[in-house]
Amino acid sequence: MHGEPGLAAHVIFGWDPLWVSSILFVATYAVIISEKVNRAIVAGLGAGLMVTLGVLNQQTAISGIDFNTLGLLAGMMVIVAITRESGVFQYVAVWSAKKVKASPWGILLMLSLVTAVFSAMLDNVTTVLLIAPVTLLICHELKVNPYPFLYAEIFASNIGGTATLIGDPPNIMIGSAVGLTFNQFLLNLAPITPVILAVTLGIIYLVWGRSMEASPEARERIMNFREREAITDVKLLKQSLSVLALVILGFVLAHPLRLEPATIAMFGAAVLLLLSNFRNSAEEQSESVHEIFGKIEWITIFFFIGLFIAVKGIEEAGVLGILADMVISYTGGDLQVTAMAILWVSAIASAIVDNIPFVATMIPVIKSMAPTFGGAENLMPLWWALALGACLGGNGSLVGASANLIVAGFAERAGHRIRFLPFMLMAFPMMLISIAIASLYMYLRYL
Amino acid sequence: MNVREVFEACSEANTPAIPFCDDNGHISGRVTLKNILLKSCLPEFMVEMAMVLGEQLSHMQDMGTETRQLLDNPVDPYVQKPHISLTSDSPAIKALALMERNDTSYIFVVDEGRYLGVITIHSLANALVSFENRS
């Protein structure tokens, strides 16, 4: 680092840092919501202005970046990029469709379960990238409308992602900022997700499932699919599944091993890169590593970097402290009311705007409530409320989560446009039902 | 011009694409077989899932009608931006280098913007064999 350690931040023209940082942050947020400029560019500009206008110096800005979140994201992206090359995800999806004799409702159920499980173990964006094409192909061959299938998968991906530390970016951010382990997420969030998924699928059955039909010829076409041919590289399949299993075991044992999740993910990525390049020439290795690194979602990584700095700006200027005081004054400093408020506000906000900037803002706000509630250890219900609200809230609209937009993109390119309003008219109430279930769970377990 | 005429022209010239010229004979775009087939016959999800496709597919049921519809379609929706080109006095090695650089197997040959013909990787290989036979 080249910045002088003692170089203090000094806002230009002697302006009030509280106002400068607030205006910059709100402007950044507004442009992100407008989706007119790529979100990585907006976050980068917001972060750059926080430093160049003097709200932060470079050293403080860099201290705001959560490298544990970035390492965990990048490491898992590399592992998933290599694993998906083996074709295992397509294999499982087609295999599960054939297991239910290609019955349309059975397929919807199986693909939703596969989506939820993969979303919990990998991440929900990657999962829908792999599941959406399989779904569209199956529906095309069954001659059925793909909308209910894709709708169910959107919900399943966000519900499944809620269950674990690595399932959804908000969980990664919360886990990293608060030091919550993979097991803590598993023990606190995973138990409620099957209930929410079951209720969701029940509603989908009542709306669409009862009338789903496919001719015997159409079902025969699905039964003729060759899932074994999806496995293009058996050696790579064994290597990647072994490393993935070890990485998940590493997450489970992270606490006794005294390792951070980012270390486990990055180390797993390095081991898998080594195995998949074993006996390759130097040139082949360069080409392969270059290709895999190209599959890291750099937009997401740089979006996070910019966002962390922008949030650090308003935190240093004292904006988040004021925000926390306001929340406490509204909730009267009552833990139960505060947790419920965080759960519902997070859910509704996450349905309307990207949940990543929202969670990035809320983390320091909740942290600063520690003295009110008698210490950081008493904030646990608030963290689970934030995670449940932000992850499940993504189901409320088409723009609520990245996974939703990916599914919508695939559907549109296949000639089945998912419209914003009709989707929201059904998805938003269903999301509220999931939050009501989460509220009951929170109340019974923590409050 | 319709898709049928493009297919016939490409087959006759043994090339994967033909240029789209304006009234003055200047190249204003191109039409490729690949683009027509990808856009009209091959959904993205089928490409993603190519490995698992079985022998029976629903496409086959309506193949006759769909093919007729495609061939009668006007070509305009399939016109892409102009392709790289070179002049007729360019060395053959430059054609090969340009093909490699642009990840293509054909290049249009032009003279002051007017289309003269197309050079393909097959025609280059043919020319080399002919040259070797003559010498």
Distance between CA atoms of A289 and A294, rounded to whole angstroms? 8
Encode A297-358 in three state secondary structure. CHHHHHHHHHHHHHHHHHHHCCHHHHHHHHHHHHHCCCHHHHHHHHHHHHHHHHHHCCHHHH
A123 three-class SS: coil
Q: Do B49 and A134 touch (CB under 8 A)?
A: yes
Distance between CA atoms of A42 and A420, rounded to whole angstroms? 24
| Residue in A209, A154, A170 with CA at minimum distance from that of residue A428 | A154
Q: How far is B25 from chain A (nearest CA, A)?
A: 34
A391 three-class SS: helix
**Which pLDDT value is given to residue A5?**
46
Q: Assess A97–B contact: CB distance below 8 Å, yes or no.
A: no
**Which pLDDT value is given to residue A3?**
43
**Which pLDDT value is given to residue A9?**
61
Partners of residue B52 in chain A, C-beta under 8 Å: 90, 94, 225-227, 229-230
Q: Do B57 and A221 touch (CB under 8 A)?
A: yes
Average pLDDT over residues B14-41: 88
Q: How far is A194 from chain B (nearest CA, A)?
A: 29
Partners of residue A144 in chain B, C-beta under 8 Å: none
**Which pLDDT value is given to residue A17?**
87
Partners of residue B49 in chain A, C-beta under 8 Å: 90, 133-134, 137, 230
Partners of residue A410 in chain B, C-beta under 8 Å: 44-45
Partners of residue A229 in chain B, C-beta under 8 Å: 51-52
Distance between CA atoms of B53 and B44, rounded to whole angstroms? 13
Which pTM was predicted? 0.84
Q: How far is B71 from chain A (nearest CA, A)?
A: 21
Residues 14-73 (B) with a CB less than 8 A from some CB of A:
43-46, 48-49, 51-58
**Which pLDDT value is given to residue A6?**
43
Indicate the pairing of strand B106-111 with strand B114-120: antiparallel
Q: Do A90 and B51 touch (CB under 8 A)?
A: yes
pLDDT-derived band of residue B60, with 50, 70 and 90 as boundaries?
Answer: low
Q: Which of B38, B47, B51, B59 to mutate to test the interface with A (most CBs of A within 10 A)?
A: B51
**What is the dihedral sign for C-alpha A329, A332, A335, A338?**
negative
pLDDT along chain A (447 residues), means of 10: 51 84 92 87 96 93 92 92 90 94 96 96 86 93 95 97 93 92 95 98 96 93 92 92 95 90 95 94 95 91 92 89 87 92 94 85 91 90 96 92 89 90 95 98 92
Q: Do A225 and B45 touch (CB under 8 A)?
A: no
Residue in A closest to B54 by C-alpha:
A225
**Which pLDDT value is given to residue A124?**
84
Q: Which residues contact B12 (CB under 8 A, 6 or more apart)?
A: none
Q: Which of A86, A141, A227, A228 to mutate to test the interface with B (most CBs of B within 10 A)?
A: A141
Q: Do A226 and B54 touch (CB under 8 A)?
A: yes
Partners of residue B66 in chain A, C-beta under 8 Å: none
Residue in A closest to B43 by C-alpha:
A414
Distance between CA atoms of A413 and A347, rounded to whole angstroms? 29
Partners of residue A226 in chain B, C-beta under 8 Å: 51-54
**Which pLDDT value is given to residue B14?**
87
Q: Do A229 and B51 touch (CB under 8 A)?
A: yes
